[in-house]
Structure 1
Amino acid sequence: MSLTETIELYLTEKRRILDAFPVAVLERAAEMLFATYDRGGTVYAMANGGNAGTLDHFYCDFKHHPFVTEDKTRPLPADVRRLSFVNLCGSAAELTGLVNDIGFEDMFAAALAPIVTANDLVMAYSGSGNSANVTKALEVAVAAGAGTFAMTKGDGGRCRELAEVCLVVPGTSRFPGQVGKNDNNFHFEDLMLSINHILVGLLKERVAARHPAD
């Protein structure tokens, strides 16, 4: 294919995925987020590789964006509850220490187990749905009675079995770099950020409705 055709392939695949996007599943995830916020719980998020970096974007957005005025000139009053959001990938020191001491598969579970409660929401992102460090942490979250949301692709893997709400990105890909074991991976990673923006925007709308600007 020519460069133009290959670029168009990516965009065509993206449109098909968006047309088949499981909106109802994301709505359930939003409701879980709202419930966690309302009861003063904490959102914990985890992912691997480049997706771990995307969680830094999540952290910034969830911590701040719903809690400023629409024109961003000032924060909402201090008595407006903020969302507690923890990026389990946020500390290189903690992650490398846990991997060194107890191993890769248990690093998220070990970070989560002492602190997660039934008031919390655990968000897991795994393309395969079978990343052992993610699934073990989901098991910890389920045992604690926390809400669980997973985003994955393909058949959903173990994440689909473990998570209360699991969003499986639909479709497949022929675009270079996301075929075979990486099938649809670029689209998955793109949509991870889109889901962040949708959830943050919905939470902002909810907070604003309860605390209208002066």
Structure 2
Amino acid sequence: MNNFFNGYINSLKNLLDQIDVSILEEIISTLERTSEKKSKVYVVGNGGSSATASHMANDLGIGLRRRDIRNINIVSLGDNSAVTSAIANDIGFENIFYMQLKGILQPDDVIIAISCSGNSSNITKAIEYAKEVGAKVIGVTGFDGGKLKELSDVNFHVDAPKGEYGLVEDVHMILDHMIYSYYIEKGKCNVR
């Protein structure tokens, strides 16, 4: 049992050591431009990635706004089960994010797409639409990155072995907390 846990911890440490901080800087710059332009950030994901999307919307939205640190207009498109289940039932699961973006997504908006495989049809359809509109795409991927990695303007990639969902999702959640913690620390520096 100890061998398993030590192995998992070591694998997670190795993945964290591989993080390219210049990608974090690109993500922060993109979020700041979006905030300054009063544009919107949409976050999408399935399963555990949907939970990370919700957590990210909470942290980077209300979490920063209530502290008067940064006003990021951010929403997780998986949070309304009535909307997502109606779209899935009526016109197909592959449309649950695309249909919420259709006609309202603007070129200055940003999509943060979180997907371990990068190949989920509902994610890729929304991203293809975002590219048509001219919105910026931040991909958060794992394994080989799939189609999402190819379509992303900025890609935060976790190069874990295929099937290691726990490790990839762990690092994706840490990404959210690194961005949030960066802003919290920056907010402390601006307090006089």
TM over 0.5: yes
Asked if 1:186 corresponds to 2:184, the answer is no
Residue of structure 1 equivalent to 2:41: 43
Supply the distance in 1 between the matched residues of 2:183 and 2:105 (Cα, whole angstroms).
Answer: 22
Shift of 1:203: 3.6
In the other structure, the counterpart of 2:131 is: 142
- Answer whether contact 2:111 2:127 (CA < 8 A) is retained: yes
Task: Tell me the residue number matched to 2:191.
Answer: 213
**TM-superposed deviation, 1:213:** 3.3
Matched to 1:48, the amino acid is N
| Structure 1 residues 40 and 134: CA distance shift in structure 2, 3 A | same
Matched ranges for 1:145-164 at <5 A: 145-164=134-153
Letter of the structure 1 residue corresponding to residue 7 of structure 2: L
Q: Secondary structure at the match of 1:125?
A: strand
Task: Decide whether the 8 Å contact of 1:66 with 1:205 is kept in 2.
Answer: no
* Distance in 1 between residues matched to 2:76 and 2:99, nearest whole Å: 14
1:19 deviates by 1.4
Give the number of aligned pairs: 192
Alignment of 1:58-207 (within 5 A): 58-68=56-66, 75-76=67-68, 82-172=71-161, 182=163, 184-205=164-185
- The aligned residue for residue 9 of structure 2 is 11
Structure 1 SS opposite 2:89: helix
In the alignment, the residues of structure 1 paired with residue 183 and residue 91 of structure 2 have an alpha-carbon distance, to the nearest angstrom, of: 36
**Closer, same or farther: CA 117–185 of 1 in aligned 2, 3 Å:** same
**Distance in 1 between residues matched to 2:36 and 2:23, nearest whole Å:** 20
SS of the counterpart of 2:111?
strand
> Does structure 1 conserve the Cα–Cα contact (< 8 Å) formed by 2:160 and 2:167?
no
Report the secondary structure of 2:97's partner residue.
helix
Counterpart position of 2:28: 30
Percent identical pairs in the alignment equals 30
Q: Which has the larger radius of gyration?
A: 1
How far apart are the structure 1 equivalents of 2:173 and 2:131?
Answer: 25
Describe the SS at the equivalent of 2:157: strand
User: What is the distance in 1 between the residues matched to 2:103 and 2:188?
Assistant: 33
Q: TM-score, normalised by structure 1?
A: 0.83
Contact 2:54/2:76, CA 8 A, preserved across alignment = yes
Q: Alpha-carbon deviation of 1:135?
A: 0.6
- Output the amino acid matched with 2:15: I
Structure 2: runs of 5 or more not aligned: none
Shift of the 18–81 alpha-carbon distance from structure 1 to 2, 3 Å rule, reads: closer
Q: CA deviation at 1:206?
A: 5.3
Unaligned runs of 5+ in 1: 69-74, 173-180
* Deviation for aligned residue 1:126: 0.8
TM-score (norm 2): 0.92
Q: What's the CA shift for 1:55? A: 2.1
